[in-house]
A and B are shown apart, each in its own frame.
Chain A
Amino acid sequence: MIVNEQVAIDHGLKKDEYKKICALLKRVPNITELGIFSAMWNEHCSYKSSRLHLKKLPTKGKNVIQGPGENAGVIDIGDDDAIVFKIESHNHPSFIEPYQGAATGVGGIMRDIFTMGARPIANLNSIHFGSPQNKKTKNLLRGVVHGIGGYGNCMGVPTIAGQTSFDESYNGNILVNAMTLGLVKKNKIFYSKAAGLGKPVIYVGSKTGRDGIHGASMASAVFDEKIEEKKPTVQVGDPFTEKLLLEACLELMAGDSIIAIQDMGAAGLTSSSIEMASKGKLGIEIDLSKVPCRESKMTPYEIMLSESQERMLIVLESGKEELAKKIFDKWNLDFAVIGKTTNSKKIELYFDDNKVADIPIDILVENAPMYDRKWKKTKLPKKIKIDKKKFKNLKIINVLNKVLSNPNVCSKEWIWQQYDHTVMGDTIQKPGGDSGVVRIHGTNKAVAASVDSSAIYCWAHPLSGGKQIVCESWRNLISVGAKPIAITNCLNFGSPEKEENMGEFVECVQGLSEASLYLNFPVVSGNVSFYNQTKDVGIKPTPAIGGVGLIKDYKNMITMGLKQIDNILIVVGKTEGHLDQSLFAREILDEKNGPPPEINLFNEKNNGETILKLIDKGLIKAAHDVSIGGIIVALSKMCIKGKKGVTLKNPNYLINQFEYFFGEDQGRYIIEIEKDNFKDVIEIFEKNTVHYDELGTVNKNELIINDKSKVTIDELIKFHTSWLTNYMKK
């Protein structure tokens, strides 16, 4: 095939980019080379629109062992243990083929983790669907959930937490973000930087097929009506092979044979080989006829661009080939020496003794395009003056029913019951809590992890929204008694070529950056997914934050369920009744304008750290952060989890009761304490200038707001649990 400008455009490259390629190469690339450029220079692999802005994120901290730039981030959790973690998107393929798209998303992120030598110990996910009324939503949800479960369950890694939301902006572009945590000893972390000349390059895992060719390019494009034609670009997963690959890799990693290792994810053999060589400032030579292929007559172009799953590329120490082969034979996996490292600083590919590609690596990596795209600032919307008359006809219990059964608030048990969340025997906090918590096997330590996003806030004001998610992640960790350590982010946005969307991206990143810097909660890994857009309409900006924290003694873990009758409940943080962009305003008052709640980073940090102090002193019996739906939703969930009720104090607040109960002011928690400890707790709050309000006391089985407004816990459970199950059964 003759390469020209049109062929390049068909590969998703821009005219200027094609010109740049020809100029850098000083010739026209052949088709294999063009394919390599298109894979390396697409948005998904090159981060060409985002790189400039991602530099702003704080990535360092005293517990950070490895920040962004490797397969995943690594943090120190003491005693030579480290946690490797990352979140990644698989949005485009999951819309086209929900089961395989979601499954391979989970497979891909787990590979990123064990590539670094870590055994995966927990999975999480953040999934977002269109409006429940949209006719595609139900099948997409079912397919994605089955896919996530199908892969994770087979791997034997517990899925411990997640987040699901519905919003019409995802009607044409669902989001599937998968996160994995792995455990590794600090001195056994593996990196992707190749070193040494003439070292054997090994291919292991599944055979290469024609699936997933151009997957990364597809993920860098906007959807249109021809979307069905993209099905062949979706990869097909085989979790059993991945389980074998995991065990085989960990077995090989126990020794000292590996110099560098990289999984074949997006852009397959192309990006893995180039990345290893680039990091080592070396060249790489590969004989493509040695690559194990699943189908006959695959061309060099297809082999280089295939995104077949469950494959790894390894640079071995010379002479270790036999030893390595033995391990992969034991696990019945393909093993082939396909090339070697060189000093040419080029990628040189051979096929049937012909040279089929010859490209200097710096051209592909350092010279990859980087754009300073135009972007538009979002003004802070004016606060809405809500007509108080609107409250007059509302009955609080009816409103509570509507809010608790709202798709974005209701119990997601239908989903997480399909994920094995207890395998490995260390899950001490299951899905449905503020964070999932797993013990570090055989120790008293535990790690907590949570994944959060607030697209509505980000859409209303990206800067505030960006800050808010980091804070919410921080609060979710603190609520289980974990000290927050670091985050990973998955930045899901529309097209960067549109100023509005680019603006949302830039300002969300700015917000993330400010909050994570202030809270000393650095970003150690992440992924950007642009072009979540159908024709002209992009999704609401949806950065998802995966937070990880440490609990030194798992026996001190906190859960949200109410524990003991007569205990006292306290709201920590100030309640001012912010209703704009709250669930109450949007769903009950049908008011969709106004600013999201303000973030006060000082209070956020102070409140959180004070709660941790109380937990350390053993003064907190239950805790839950106040988020979507406000105080009353948070309280209801604590009642439901603990199967106990609450008698609220006659409130002395000045604001309206709907503002008080449904307002979404930030930086708040509800805690349960024993009566005898009340004085001590208050003293600590006052000493640390933390605002608190006494809320009420725990009772047997009723949420009593006042004499006229009460509801039993059984009813609350019904409000909270029935929507999703009924929706899926219909």
Chain B
Amino acid sequence: MNSSVITFPGSNCDRDIHVALTKFGFKNKMVWHNDIEIPKSDLIVLPGGFSYGDYLRCGSIASKSKIMKSVINFAKSGGKVLGICNGFQILVETGLLPGVLLRNKYLEFICKNVFVKIKNKDNTYFKGLEKDTLKLHIAHNEGNYFCSKEQIKEIDANNQVALYYSDKDGKVDESTNPNGSINNIAGIFNKEKNILGMMPHPERMIDTALSGEDGSIFFKNLINNLR
């Protein structure tokens, strides 16, 4: 399986995701933000970081960058696009995913392990996963997912929620919400479910020496489903 990771000048999880993808069998290429063409890919990943500094709304400048035109075309024609953290922020800024990501409720950067409950397994990203909750890692300042009441209705109606922040048993409530996200949303799909944006970093959970292996489960499952 071929994957491409887009590197913006301020990306800083590009190496980490490259390591993860390669570890689980992807042939990965790094693509520079100023390029126009993307190599033939089964998956494109927008990594975490601070794309263009994010002094303006996170991801907003990146959403207008040269390479994003190709990413948007790829996504619109059904290609699989995964945005993690800053990548998620970029995807909502392009309009490929609904909603926005606001500053965390307590106005502080949060770096910690969290559990997420998988809401929808009927898609390439989660199909066949045995576990219902995953232990992943978050590290962000703007992960507070927000959208209008009408939008959330539509999101729910189309089964677009991918992940909720939860406890290890999958309980979703205020006490398991790290950043104030509406309904505890940690990740969402587009209507067609080929695009996934998520705040947690699966690439930081691919080794028992790190915090755990649930990221490995995610990537192994993903490459299987793409095959």
With A153-B139, A156-B49, A425-B19 known as contacts, the answer to whether A243 contacts B110 (CB < 8 A) is no
Q: How many whole Å from B211's CB to the nearest CB in chain A? A: 7
Select which of B110, B139, B211 is within 8 A of A423 by beta carbon.
B139
The reply to whether the CB of A420 lies closer than 8 angstroms to some CB of chain B is: yes
CA distance A332 to B52 in the complex (A): 11
Give B187-201 as 1s and 0s: 1 = Cβ < 8 Å from A's Cβ atoms.
000000000000001
Q: Which residues on the B side are within 8 Å of A240 (C-beta)?
A: 9-10, 50, 52-55
With A428-B209, A554-B209 known as contacts, the answer to whether A421 contacts B111 (CB < 8 A) is yes
With A332-B9, A418-B110, A423-B16 known as contacts, the answer to whether A154 contacts B53 (CB < 8 A) is yes
Select which of A243, A416, A419, A426 is within 8 A of B12 by beta carbon.
A243
CA distance A153 to B111 in the complex (A): 10
The reply to whether the CB of B109 lies closer than 8 angstroms to some CB of chain A is: yes
The answer to whether B139 and A418 touch across the interface, beta carbons within 8 angstroms, is no
Give A494-511 as 1s and 0s: 1 = Cβ < 8 Å from B's Cβ atoms.
000000000000000000
CA distance A149 to B111 in the complex (A): 10
- Name the CB-closest residue of B to A413: B112
- Name the CB-closest residue of A to B14: A156
- Name the CB-closest residue of B to A154: B50
Q: Which residues on the B side are within 8 Å of A555 (C-beta)?
A: 209
CA distance A153 to B85 in the complex (A): 13
CA distance A683 to B52 in the complex (A): 60
Q: Which residues on the A side are within 8 Å of B137 (C-beta)?
A: 422
CA distance A426 to B110 in the complex (A): 19
CA distance A423 to B48 in the complex (A): 10
The reply to whether the CB of A6 lies closer than 8 angstroms to some CB of chain B is: no
Give A411-439 as 1s and 0s: 1 = Cβ < 8 Å from B's Cβ atoms.
00000111111111111100000000001
Q: How many whole Å from A368's CB to the nearest CB in chain B? A: 38
The reply to whether the CB of B135 lies closer than 8 angstroms to some CB of chain A is: no
- Name the CB-closest residue of A to B108: A418
The reply to whether the CB of B210 lies closer than 8 angstroms to some CB of chain A is: yes
The answer to whether A422 and B141 touch across the interface, beta carbons within 8 angstroms, is no
CA distance A155 to B10 in the complex (A): 8
The reply to whether the CB of A238 lies closer than 8 angstroms to some CB of chain B is: yes
Q: Which residues on the B side are within 8 Å of A419 (C-beta)?
A: 109, 111
The reply to whether the CB of B69 lies closer than 8 angstroms to some CB of chain A is: no
Task: Please classify the interface of chain B as helix (H, G, I), strand (E, B), loop, or mixed, using the class held by over half of its residues.
Answer: loop
CA distance A425 to B137 in the complex (A): 11
Q: Report the tally of A-B residue pairs with Cβ distances under 8 A.
A: 83
- Name the CB-closest residue of B to A333: B9
With A156-B12, A243-B10, A425-B19 known as contacts, the answer to whether A149 contacts B53 (CB < 8 A) is no
The reply to whether the CB of A244 lies closer than 8 angstroms to some CB of chain B is: yes
Select which of B9, B12, B110, B201 is within 8 A of A155 by beta carbon.
B12
Q: How many whole Å from B17's CB to the nearest CB in chain A? A: 9
With A154-B50, A439-B209 known as contacts, the answer to whether A331 contacts B110 (CB < 8 A) is no
CA distance A238 to B108 in the complex (A): 19
CA distance A144 to B114 in the complex (A): 26
Give A131-155 as 1s and 0s: 1 = Cβ < 8 Å from B's Cβ atoms.
0000000000000001001100111
Q: How many whole Å from B168's CB to the nearest CB in chain A? A: 14
- Name the CB-closest residue of A to B178: A417
CA distance A446 to B109 in the complex (A): 27
- Name the CB-closest residue of B to A419: B111
Q: Which residues on the A side are within 8 Å of B222 (C-beta)?
A: none
The reply to whether the CB of B204 lies closer than 8 angstroms to some CB of chain A is: yes
CA distance A427 to B9 in the complex (A): 23
Q: How many whole Å from A422's CB to the nearest CB in chain B? A: 5
Give B135-161 as 1s and 0s: 1 = Cβ < 8 Å from A's Cβ atoms.
001010100000000000000000000
Give B1-35 as 1s and 0s: 1 = Cβ < 8 Å from A's Cβ atoms.
00000000110110110011000000000000000
CA distance A428 to B53 in the complex (A): 28
The answer to whether B9 and A423 touch across the interface, beta carbons within 8 angstroms, is no
The answer to whether B141 and A153 touch across the interface, beta carbons within 8 angstroms, is yes
The reply to whether the CB of B214 lies closer than 8 angstroms to some CB of chain A is: no
The reply to whether the CB of B93 lies closer than 8 angstroms to some CB of chain A is: no
The answer to whether B110 and A417 touch across the interface, beta carbons within 8 angstroms, is yes
Q: Which residues on the A side are within 8 Å of B201 (C-beta)?
A: 422
Q: How many whole Å from B69's CB to the nearest CB in chain A? A: 20
CA distance A425 to B12 in the complex (A): 11
- Name the CB-closest residue of B to A241: B53
Q: Which residues on the A side are within 8 Å of B54 (C-beta)?
A: 154, 240
With A153-B109, A417-B111, A418-B108 known as contacts, the answer to whether A424 contacts B15 (CB < 8 A) is yes
List 27 interface pairs A-B (beta carbons < 8 Å), by A numbering: A146-B108, A150-B109, A153-B141, A154-B12, A154-B50, A156-B12, A239-B53, A240-B9, A241-B53, A244-B9, A244-B10, A331-B9, A332-B9, A417-B108, A417-B112, A418-B109, A418-B111, A420-B111, A420-B139, A422-B111, A422-B204, A423-B13, A423-B48, A426-B210, A427-B210, A428-B210, A555-B209
The 6 tightest CB contacts between A and B, nearest first, are A156-B12, A240-B53, A425-B16, A420-B139, A418-B109, A154-B50
